[in-house]
Structure 1
Amino acid sequence: MTESNLSWIEFLSQNGARMAAGSETEISGFGTSSLPEGQMDNFIAPLTDLGLIAVTGEDAATFLHNQLTNDVEHLGPHDARLAAYCSAKGRMLASLLVWKTGDEILLQLPRQLQVAIQKRLQMFVLRAKVKLVDVSGERPILGLAGTQAQRELKAYFPELPAMPFSKTDSDAGTLIRMSDADGIPRYQWIAPESIAKPAWTALSKALAPAGAAVWRLSEIRAGIPQITLATQEQFVPQMINFELIGGINFKKGCYPGQEIVARTQYLGKLKRRALLASVSSAAAAGHEVFSSTDPRQPCGMIINAEASGPDQAECLVEIKTAALNEGTVHLGSVDGPVLTFRTLPYSLND
């Protein structure tokens, strides 16, 4: 079979990709090599754990504007935005990256949520002129980080997007500048397969090929939370700092859960936030954390976690801010490993 006839996953497999345990889509790494522990610089990762929904039709922008927490009607051609899709109770069903290319509005979210979220959105289309299509298999997503990555990308995008959540389009696809992680520039490149395959061959010689977990670790270090199956309907957006990273527009019209999201913002001080932490243990989204001063009930929950070394994990943790004032915070139970909290790359403003 020729390279052009291979699917993206098949192509990567022929180039040394290892599949994550229990997954048919997520790449865990390449060959027997891996990035040095903690390295976040100058790597390239196929983000096969992410899915894409293309939304088209003359009512597409208005429809999404009325469903999501951010402004979609005024989404510019050089913009990408985070947004939440909430239940009527204001709890997050999904965190999304949203952008517009040509006549399409693209929604990016974890593949594990995509089918259910697409089906739920479809229920509310009714008579609107809107079409939702899963295009995940057609448009490979690459995550790239580092100054060397910037240099390599200029062969495909002579003008790189300069600010976080800005984007550019060319014949090579869409390039989105993401938030820096530890001061390291990061990009997502959404490319046609015909471009992605030769680009991977070239770029994986200049940059360290990595699995999706390395990219997710860089997202944690950038303070960008992602809702997964384990955390659906657990958080109002502000509990995981979503308004601080541009995921909520408080001036737009109604959307599911809008009243609760607005009330959370304007009535009293926010009592729960997302913080960066590390722990000498394995950790996973949905694990509860406990304060030594109140061991009877959890004081928070792991939003996202990824291994950063043997028996080491880095996490984004949603937590009662009062629990940080005294005592220690533990994973799983009050007898579990202690979490060490770190400074976020942005201010909480509380």
Structure 2
Amino acid sequence: MNLIWRAYQQNSGAIIEDGRVVRYGDAAAELASTRSASTGSATVLCDLSHFGLIYFSGEDAQSFLQGQLSCDVRQIGSTGALYGSYCNPKGRMLASFLIWRDRNGADGGYLMQLPLALLTSVQKRLSMYVLRAKVKLADSSGMLVPMAVAGDDAGSLIQEIMGAIPLAHLDVIHCEKGSVIRLAKNRFELVITPEYAPAVWDGLSKDALPVGGPCWDWLEIKAGIPMITPATQEQFIPQMTNLEAIGGVSFQKGCYPGQEVVSRTQYLGKIKRRMYLANVRLPSSETRVEAGDELFSVDMGDQSSGMVVNAAPSPNGGFDLLAVMQIGSVETGQIRWKSPEGPLLEIMPLPYPVDQQ
């Protein structure tokens, strides 16, 4: 987190833990407001400085990324964004991300947003494959301030402050103060230059309630957007996390690490595991559901039948989570957290269709 921005957030009442804003006051009240924002009756504002940004520049930036990532970088253009993944040679995801062109338009480089905890290792690994390509990688996390707005009034608030908003899903606009990405009908991310960030935040917070990072986690989970973390690196191929359903995998592009496994799974194999949305109620308020937690089912006995990808406290009680699970085990209706006798998961519908093959 940019040090000046950190001080500004603390002066605004933010409680920061491990470089992340966790709340501004009553966490439960913030989560309730976020639920209202998801249904259109409130608007919330969240700092996203717990995400890092890798900047790719140089005349070979596009071709380099095209040969490394699961998404088709050529489709991004100057006013679009894509979800994607970076895999190891076995097709297992090292990171998931959102990527877009920077504010310099067609002549600009690319910004890859991923959890800050993964930035250093992913940047180092990608740098190993630059070789003679004319591309440079830089950590731009401290040079830009990411924030997000959700709710039916989000678009009008951003329009007033930024002067324009993107009209379509994953469209991007660039202006003097920074960039705006439309993540959904009523969810936007703003990536603001540090000199404008306090004024933009002040303007938005007049009508949008500041909320902690866990609230944004919950919105992303309800949207079915997977985020690979250190606990889940190299656990899943992209299709297991439904990444192709949100445009994060191209089956028409050329080679990239893991491409043979990913394509073979799509065309010749059968995906035995898929990502589901679920809720679980725990017996104690002291326990938490975490990424990497194992799941069990009757049909698999003592063998794990799944793993939590992401989890966040639910405004409706318990934890909402995204988890990769055996399709057959889900059909039994008996998925349990952490042990064969653990709390039972309630499976909920995802907001997009998924091919179960």
TM-score above 0.5: yes
Give the CA deviation at 1:72: 1.4
Give the CA deviation at 1:347: 0.7
Match of 1:176 in 2: 181
Question: Equivalent residue of 1:161, what SS?
Answer: coil
Indicate whether 1:39 and 2:45 are aligned: no
Could you report, residue by residue, the CA deviation over 1:140-184 in whole angstroms, capped at 9, with x for unpaired residues? Answer: 10011012221110113333212221111111211001135xxxx
Question: Equivalent residue of 2:245, what SS?
Answer: coil
Match of 1:272 in 2: 273
The code of the aligned residue for 1:217 comes to W
TM-score, length basis structure 1: 0.93
Partner Cα separation in structure 2 for residue 272 and residue 233 of structure 1: 15
Partner Cα separation in structure 1 for residue 10 and residue 112 of structure 2: 26
| Greater Cα shift, 256-265 or 70-79 | 70-79
1:342 equivalent among 334, 339, 348: 348
Match of 1:151 in 2: 156
Could you report, residue by residue, the CA deviation over 1:101-143 in whole angstroms, capped at 9, with x for unpaired residues? Answer: 2212001000000000001111111111111111101101001
Partner Cα separation in structure 1 for residue 13 and residue 162 of structure 2: 27
Could you report, residue by residue, the CA deviation over 1:10-33 in whole angstroms, capped at 9, with x for unpaired residues? Answer: 11011101013xx0x100011346
Give the CA deviation at 1:71: 1.4
Match of 1:201 in 2: 202
Match of 2:100 in 1: 99
Match of 1:30 in 2: 24
Partner Cα separation in structure 1 for residue 254 and residue 240 of structure 2: 21
1:1-350 pair list within 5 angstroms: 7-20=4-17, 23=18, 25-32=19-26, 34-37=29-32, 39=35, 41=37, 42-101=43-102, 102=104, 103-179=108-184, 185-281=186-282, 282-309=288-315, 312-350=318-356
The code of the aligned residue for 2:67 comes to N
Partner Cα separation in structure 2 for residue 250 and residue 32 of structure 1: 45
Q: Which has the higher helix share?
A: 2
Question: Equivalent residue of 1:142, what SS?
Answer: strand
Partner Cα separation in structure 1 for residue 80 and residue 31 of structure 2: 33
TM-score, length basis structure 2: 0.91
Partner Cα separation in structure 1 for residue 346 and residue 233 of structure 2: 25
Runs (5+) with no aligned partner, structure 2: 38-42, 283-287
- 2:221–2:311: 8 Å Cα contact kept in structure 1? yes
Could you report, residue by residue, the CA deviation over 1:177-199 in whole angstroms, capped at 9, with x for unpaired residues? Answer: 1135xxxx101000011111111
Partner Cα separation in structure 2 for residue 312 and residue 54 of structure 1: 38
The code of the aligned residue for 2:30 comes to L
| Greater Cα shift, 199-208 or 233-242 | 199-208
- 1:156–1:172: 8 Å Cα contact kept in structure 2? no
Give the CA deviation at 1:271: 1.7
Partner Cα separation in structure 1 for residue 278 and residue 344 of structure 2: 10
The number of residue pairs the alignment matches comes to 339
Question: Equivalent residue of 2:161, what SS?
Answer: coil
Partner Cα separation in structure 2 for residue 264 and residue 66 of structure 1: 19
Give the CA deviation at 1:247: 0.1
The code of the aligned residue for 1:54 comes to Y
Partner Cα separation in structure 1 for residue 188 and residue 31 of structure 2: 20
Residues 335 and 196 (structure 1 numbering): CA distance in 2 closer, same or farther, change over 3 Å? same
Give the CA deviation at 1:312: 0.8
| Greater Cα shift, 251-260 or 200-209 | 200-209
The code of the aligned residue for 2:219 comes to S
Question: Equivalent residue of 2:101, what SS?
Answer: strand
Residues 40 and 239 (structure 1 numbering): CA distance in 2 closer, same or farther, change over 3 Å? farther
- 1:292–1:327: 8 Å Cα contact kept in structure 2? no
Percentage of identical aligned residues: 40
